């Protein structure tokens, strides 16, 4: 079974709550992961907050074309139940 992002919510700064297709939810802080040509523009809080789920690919993405796979988000994320 492929893992997909079901929903994403901007919480604060560069922190997102991501709900995954396996029923889990993670909190990810991307502040230290916004490097490179595609991701550096996301350091602008206004652009970062425009994150959304792409229903065709099951990833999160931003208007500038940056996207992150659910497997990466799970790897760097913290269990939302433990963070709450």
CATH 3.50.50.60 fits 5-80, yes or no: no
**What is the reported pLDDT for 84?**
59
Backbone angles phi, psi at 36, to 5 degrees: 95, 165
At residue 42, the pLDDT reads 97
Beta bridge partners of 54: 59
**pLDDT for the residue 32:** 95
Structure tokens at 65: 């074309």
- Rounded to the nearest 10°, the torsion over CA 16, 42, 13, 60 is -10
| Low-confidence residues in the chain, pLDDT < 50 | none
Q: Domain map of the chain by residue range?
A: 5-80
């Amino acid at each position: 079974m492929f893992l997909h992002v079901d929903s994403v919510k901007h919480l604060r700064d560069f922190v997102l709550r991501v709900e995954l297709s396996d029923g889990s939810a993670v909190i990810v802080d991307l502040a230290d992961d916004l490097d490179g040509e595609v991701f550096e523009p996301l350091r602008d809080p206004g652009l970062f907050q425009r994150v959304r789920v792409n229903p065709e690919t099951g990833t999160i993405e931003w208007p500038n074309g940056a996207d992150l796979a659910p497997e990466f988000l799970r790897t760097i994320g913290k269990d939302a139940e433990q963070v709450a």
